[in-house]
Amino acid sequence: MDACGGPLGNLTAHVWLSLQNSMILSAAIFITLLGLLGYLHFVKIDQETLLIIDSLGIQMTSSYASGKESTTFIEMGKVKDVVINEAIYMQKVIYYLCILLKDPVEPPGISEVVPVFQSAKPRLDCLIEVYRSCQEILAHQKDTSTSP
């Protein structure tokens, strides 16, 4: 009995230890996976879209790496203008495109500035392309709204 109990006790201790180890290990793997999923689902943006329709408004969609999409819609009546602005961001000075919203209380004022392409941060030449098309559509919208 005695001769047998020693190795058996050793074995149980060993199994318990490896079990404990694997528990920590699996927990670590689980948390990492969860973190990764969370990152893909909430942080990493794969694609940003700006859809502007002159009779309706502006829709901004960002699709996350997991496939989740979040959409913001601004109706045309609220949009004052689309402009390119400069800002100090981290250790850089960047250009960004933003939408200016009308102030409902005080019409010539601006109530809010909504930045576009926040995660992609395209460079100036790209922004100018987008900016030009936006301005064309906005000008068209203003023409049609004032002509009738």
Give me the residues that bind another protein (CB under 8 A), please.
Answer: 81, 83-88, 91-95, 100, 110, 113, 123-125, 128, 131-132, 135, 139
- Our CB check for another protein shows the closer of 45 and 126 to be 126
CA-nearest of 102, 94, 50, 107 to 76 is 102
- Our CB check for another protein shows the closer of 50 and 94 to be 94
CA-nearest of 20, 45, 10 to 119 is 45
CA dihedral (92, 117, 72, 108) positive or negative? positive
- Our CB check for another protein shows the closer of 69 and 112 to be 112
Shortest distance in whole angstroms from residue 129 CB to another protein:
9
CA distance 80 to 76: 8
Instruction: Specify the DSSP class assigned to residue 67.
Output: S
Shortest distance in whole angstroms from residue 108 CB to another protein:
10
Shortest distance in whole angstroms from residue 82 CB to another protein:
9
